[in-house]
């Protein structure tokens, strides 16, 4: 993608031009991969999956996503405590989902589009649903609904202001689910990609995967994208050319090219995560603790000696 790929009637600001330069690639910059890559990667995960489900009851499966992996690589005790809590929608948890829906609407919206119109449409559609989110939105007070609308609108506005209009020929897809089943479905790896652009051409990588973020960079953001890249590689047989976190409030990319080395390291991380999850699920060992910044909002912080020590040492 380059500026020449954008409609001639569209004038781009510097931030939008930067997006194009970050995501574009010449034909000679698109790597080729072998036919057997998909089978090779999946067989490595399959071997680990088969070993961890040996003692798993027949009616149970292990489900792994990017959030769970990040938790397992951190404080296992915090993960166990949070996994026992019932999920509840809130403004912080809903604003991302609704922002993505509004951005998706913007791609196919007819006529002029503004962030508030798209935001209201996304919230209205979700409100009409028969699911838990619909119930939650219908129960919001006027003040909470206004706050939700404002926070979603801010993210959608940032996207429209810093991204060029997504051309249909770029093959944009939002909230795309990806899934890999291992050990005859006893282990399921899954994710939902914020945005993909392009596609592979034969064995030549061409797809770009983008995850929208706010706030500052975290190493876990890159791990999340590598996980998506691995699943997509196993799904179609060719890795994405590039993955990138895009920080809406900063207008900045954190990109990474996907190589065989990146995929191999991701397999090691996912394999470690599957093993840890099985051990905790089957109560083979107690969860480990890992004090750090998340101790500030951990459910166990009051009774956790390691957590309290960390908070005391980092009270400033």
Q: What is the pLDDT of residues 222-239, one digit of tens each?
A: 999 999 999 999 999 999
Contacts of 62 (CB under 8 A, 6+ apart): 52, 53, 56, 186, 187, 188, 274, 277, 278, 281
Q: Is the pLDDT of residue 215 over 70?
A: yes
Nearest CA among 252, 245, 250 for reference residue 222:
245
Tokens of 97: 């989902």
How far, in Å, CA of 98 to CA of 13, rounded? 26
Contacts of 59 (CB under 8 A, 6+ apart): none
How far, in Å, CA of 174 to CA of 197, rounded? 9
Q: What is the pLDDT of residue 313?
A: 83
Q: What is the pLDDT of residue 2?
A: 52
Domain ranges of the chain: 29-86+169-281, 91-167, 289-316
| Phi and psi at residue 243, to the nearest 5° | -125, 150
Q: What is the pLDDT of residues 169-195, one digit of tens each?
A: 889 998 899 999 999 999 999 999 999
Q: What is the pLDDT of residue 174?
A: 87
Place of tokens 């282990």: 187
How far, in Å, CA of 226 to CA of 229, rounded? 5
Q: What is the pTM of this model?
A: 0.90
Q: Is the pLDDT of residue 248 over 80?
A: yes
Q: Which residues are 64's β-sheet partners?
A: 189
Angle at 222 between CA 298 and CA 204, to 5 degrees: 150
CB 230 within 8 A of CB 195: no
Domain 29-86+169-281: top CATH class: alpha beta
| Phi and psi at residue 237, to the nearest 5° | 95, -10
Name the CA dihedral angle for 277, 282, 284, 289, rounded to a multiple of 10 degrees: 40
Q: Which residues are 176's β-sheet partners?
A: 193
Q: What is the pLDDT of residues 143-165, one digit of tens each?
A: 999 999 999 999 999 999 999 98
Q: What is the pLDDT of residues 16-59, one digit of tens each?
A: 999 999 888 888 889 999 999 999 999 999 999 999 999 999 99
CB 184 within 8 A of CB 53: no
Q: What is the pLDDT of residue 140?
A: 96
Q: How many CA atoms lie less than 13 Å away from 170 in the CB half-sphere? A: 25
């Amino acid at each position: 993608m380059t500026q020449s790929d954008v409609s001639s009637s569209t004038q781009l600001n510097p931030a939008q031009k930067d997006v194009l330069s970050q995501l574009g690639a010449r034909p000679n910059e698109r790597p080729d991969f072998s036919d057997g890559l998909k089978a090779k990667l999946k067989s490595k995960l399959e071997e680990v999956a088969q070993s961890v489900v040996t003692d798993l009851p027949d009616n149970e499966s292990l489900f792994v996503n990017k959030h769970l992996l990040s938790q397992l690589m951190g404080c296992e005790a915090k993960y166990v405590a949070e996994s026992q809590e019932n999920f509840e929608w809130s403004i912080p948890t809903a604003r991302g989902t609704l922002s993505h829906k509004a951005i998706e609407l913007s791609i196919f919206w007819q006529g002029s589009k503004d962030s508030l119109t798209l935001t209201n449409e996304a919230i209205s559609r979700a409100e009409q649903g028969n699911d838990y989110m619909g119930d939650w939105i219908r129960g919001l007070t006027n003040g909470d609904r206004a706050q939700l609308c404002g926070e979603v609108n801010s993210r959608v506005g940032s996207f429209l202001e810093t991204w060029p209009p997504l051309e249909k020929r770029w093959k944009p897809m939002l909230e795309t689910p990806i899934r890999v089943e291992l050990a005859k479905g006893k282990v399921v790896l899954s994710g939902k990609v914020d945005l993909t652009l392009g596609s592979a051409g034969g064995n030549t990588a061409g797809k770009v995967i983008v995850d929208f973020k706010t706030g500052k960079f975290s190493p876990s953001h890159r791990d999340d994208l590598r996980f998506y890249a691995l699943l997509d590689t196993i799904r179609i047989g060719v890795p994405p050319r590039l993955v990138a976190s895009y920080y809406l409030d900063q207008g900045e990319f954190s990109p990474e090219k996907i190589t065989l080395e990146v995929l191999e390291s991701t397999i090691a991380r996912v394999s470690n995560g599957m093993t840890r999850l099985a051990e905790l699920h089957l109560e083979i060992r107690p969860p480990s603790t890992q004090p750090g910044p998340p101790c500030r909002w951990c459910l166990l912080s009051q009774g956790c000696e390691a957590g309290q020590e960390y908070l005391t040492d980092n009270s400033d």
